[in-house]
Chain A
Amino acid sequence: MSVASQDTAVKTGSIAKVFIYLILVLFALFYLLPLYVMLTNSLKPLSEITGGDMMSLPKAWTIEAWLSAWSTAQVGVSPTGLRPYFINSILMVVPAVAISTVLGALNGYILTKWRFRGDTLLFGLMLFACFIPFQIVLIPMARILGILGIAGSTQGLVLVHVVYGIGFSTLYFRNYYASFPTELVRAAMIDGAGFFRIFWRIMLPVSGPIAVVTIIWQFTNIWNDFLFGASFAGLSAMPMTVALNNLVNSSTGVREYNVHFAGAIMAALPTLLVYIVAGRFFVRGLMAGSVKG
């Protein structure tokens, strides 16, 4: 995204300016509200929450709820806390992101620098795959995972996320490489470099920014996925989002809202962290997701 590189030529009066700031700040509060509610209430004891004021800061600060959410809370049937599921998510996300990014880079390189008849159509097919409602693949996917013997496993989820992540990672790399001069590839060909050598020596060294965008995008999407996790994970490979949902919706016993909030923030933490550290790239990924590169 172009960040304030161009000033607008529009001028506004000072009273109008005050109103503008007021509105902008109000919206900022609106966006921050849920995070604030989660954070403050995760640090209260349960007694302070039920019947208490959701907006107030804790009177008695405690990290009890966090500890419980991490290691002892009831998720589904077992009192394991969210820790095993957090690990599940990591085990799923890392390979899925790595594989889909590498494939996307190679695909983007081929689709821009080794063009062939029908490549645009092919890319169109990949691109459309990004936007399908995944309900259309749930039934056959469940069967295929069963046939491959990886139903309910982390490998199964990795496969699913790689397959449905290729479209986006290809899109990113393709659009990025499209503006990379083809003459460079030709020069390298004349210099005697082959397909992989050109990729390795010429393309990859300049792919840093788009690789970051792609990795962040894939990471966020796969970490946040719920539908595939809920459909294919089973108990042992259940990712964080599904576990959180189970924690929050478990009907047994007292509803420990503070634990729910602590768990929710845990589930949000990795993506939130990525957003805070590299928000610029996240936004760029979002924008590229609207197809225009």
Chain B
Amino acid sequence: MPIRTTRADLRTRLQDFIPKIVLAPSLAAILIFVYGFIVFTGYLSMTDSKMLPSFDFVGLDNYVRLFSLPAWNTALINLVIFAALYIAICTVIGLGLAILLDQKIRGEGVLRPIYLYPMALSFIVTGTAWKWFLDPGLGLENTMHLWGWTDFQFNWIKDRHMAIYTLVIAAVWQTSGFVMAMFLAGLRGIDNEILKAAQIDGASNFALYRRIVIPLLRPAFLSAFVILFHMAIKSYDLVIALTGGGPGRATELPATFMYSYTFTRNSMGIGAASAVIMLMTVAAIMIPYLYSELGAKKE
């Protein structure tokens, strides 16, 4: 029997084509402005670009230099401290609040929006308040002194060893409500019959949460972790608004490092190399996550 492919009429062929034409601009934009740019930045990171891009190839020199820079190493250590505390505290507070809110609380409708509204605000906005609040001469310390607690000290933002923790406080303030919402959605998605069965089996509230509910929240934990992780790496406004990287370099993060080396210190090659490192860190977490999310949806 002769095998021949079927011919389509003009309309069908056109209909096959239109979706691709419509998709093309978006696709082109993404390919150029995201992936093309990634390649370009990757290339720049291997050149001796200073103030302007140069195309003299220097191999991995910039990376070697980058990792020998104290400023970069400080930024990395800061990121590790910041990310670890930020993710851990957000998760604990978020999960805690979600569990508490899930106890048939009256006024949930009022509390939930209050917990979440910081996500709607720019850090540049709330940073002004936080900066002031954390300033020993104006904010909490000053207020406590005025209220009669004269020994009270809270000057972390001026202390090069403690300043990084003020970033954590402000960042947790902004995001923990969102994490709460994620966990709350997870809790509400758990089949009530499972909980009833566990109670009939004699599980205490504590055991119920520890043995049944929290293990069932695994997907919410994973999503929360991934989201928080990439937010931590991208944290930029936060530092600019709160500490400007100081005192000294005490609160420099990779995001601010990249910006200052590229645009104010005229070391574009180094800046590009640091951006590549940031991208690779995000990719290491996001790609497996997206892969599993999209893969699971395939039939």
In the complex, residue of chain B having the shortest beta-carbon distance to the beta carbon of A7: B104
CB pair B286 A131 closer than 8 Å:
yes
Centre residue among A133, A137, A274 by max chain B CB count within 10 A: A133
CB pair A231 B173 closer than 8 Å:
no
Interface CB pairs A-B, < 8 A, 7: A8-B192, A10-B199, A128-B283, A135-B255, A136-B41, A139-B44, A166-B29
List the B side residues contacting A224 at CB < 8 Å.
121-125
CB pair B272 A123 closer than 8 Å:
no
Q: Which of A8, A49, A126, A267 touches B30 (beta carbons < 8 Å)?
A: A126
Could you tell me which residues of chain A, from 128 to 151, have a CB within 8 Å of some CB in chain B? Answer: 128-129, 131-141, 143-144
CB pair A248 B128 closer than 8 Å:
yes
Whether A139 contacts B40 in the complex (CB less than 8 A), given A103-B25, A128-B287, A166-B26, comes out as: yes
How many residue pairs link A and B with beta carbons under 8 A? The number is 303
In the complex, residue of chain B having the shortest beta-carbon distance to the beta carbon of A34: B129
Secondary structure type dominating chain B contacts: helix
Report Cα–Cα, A286/B179, bound state, in Å. Answer: 10
CB pair B35 A134 closer than 8 Å:
no
Interface residues contributed by chain B, number (CB under 8 Å): 116
List the A side residues contacting B128 at CB < 8 Å.
38, 244, 248, 260-261, 263-264
Whether A135 contacts B275 in the complex (CB less than 8 A), given A8-B195, A128-B287, A170-B26, comes out as: yes
CB pair B293 A10 closer than 8 Å:
no
CB pair B101 A275 closer than 8 Å:
no
In the complex, residue of chain B having the shortest beta-carbon distance to the beta carbon of A103: B26
Report Cα–Cα, A25/B101, bound state, in Å. Answer: 11
List the B side residues contacting A200 at CB < 8 Å.
none
CB pair B19 A10 closer than 8 Å:
no
Could you tell me which residues of chain A, from 191 to 234, have a CB within 8 Å of some CB in chain B? Answer: 194-196, 220, 223-227, 230-231
In the complex, residue of chain A having the shortest beta-carbon distance to the beta carbon of B262: A139
From residue B60, how far is it (CB to closest CB) to chain A in Å? 17
CB pair A136 B30 closer than 8 Å:
no
List the A side residues contacting B274 at CB < 8 Å.
135
Question: A292 in the interface, Cβ–Cβ < 8 Å?
Answer: yes
Whether A54 contacts B139 in the complex (CB less than 8 A), given A128-B286, A261-B129, A279-B113, comes out as: yes
CB pair A24 B121 closer than 8 Å:
no
In the complex, residue of chain B having the shortest beta-carbon distance to the beta carbon of A126: B30
Question: B46 in the interface, Cβ–Cβ < 8 Å?
Answer: no
Question: B residues near A, CB below 8 A?
Answer: 11, 15, 18-20, 22-23, 25-27, 29-31, 33-38, 40-41, 44, 53, 93, 96-97, 100-105, 108, 111, 113-126, 128-133, 138-140, 142-143, 146-147, 173, 177-178, 181-182, 184-185, 187-189, 192, 195-196, 199, 205, 208-209, 219, 223-224, 226-227, 230, 233-234, 236-237, 240-241, 244, 254-255, 258-259, 262-263, 268, 271-272, 274-276, 278-279, 282-283, 286-287, 289-291, 293-294, 297-298
6 A-B pairs besides A133-B233, A139-B271, A140-B41 with CB distance below 8 A are A34-B130, A116-B19, A133-B230, A226-B236, A227-B259, A291-B223
Whether A33 contacts B133 in the complex (CB less than 8 A), given A139-B40, A264-B125, comes out as: yes
Could you tell me which residues of chain A, from 99 to 113, have a CB within 8 Å of some CB in chain B? Answer: 103, 106-107, 110-111
Q: Which of B26, B120, B223 touches A107 (beta carbons < 8 Å)?
A: B26
In the complex, residue of chain B having the shortest beta-carbon distance to the beta carbon of A282: B120
In the complex, residue of chain B having the shortest beta-carbon distance to the beta carbon of A2: B188
List the B side residues contacting A79 at CB < 8 Å.
none
Interface residues contributed by chain A, number (CB under 8 Å): 110
Q: Which of B118, B188, B196 touches A31 (beta carbons < 8 Å)?
A: B118
From residue A230, how far is it (CB to closest CB) to chain B in Å? 8
CB pair A8 B294 closer than 8 Å:
no
List the B side residues contacting A33 at CB < 8 Å.
133
Centre residue among B113, B120, B282 by max chain A CB count within 10 A: B120
Question: A37 in the interface, Cβ–Cβ < 8 Å?
Answer: yes
From residue A262, how far is it (CB to closest CB) to chain B in Å? 10
Whether A195 contacts B259 in the complex (CB less than 8 A), given A34-B129, A244-B125, comes out as: no
Report Cα–Cα, A287/B132, bound state, in Å. Answer: 32
CB pair A9 B192 closer than 8 Å:
yes
CB pair B181 A1 closer than 8 Å:
yes
Report Cα–Cα, A129/B294, bound state, in Å. Answer: 15
CB pair B262 A138 closer than 8 Å:
yes
Q: Which of A10, A114, A120, A170 touches B298 (beta carbons < 8 Å)?
A: A120
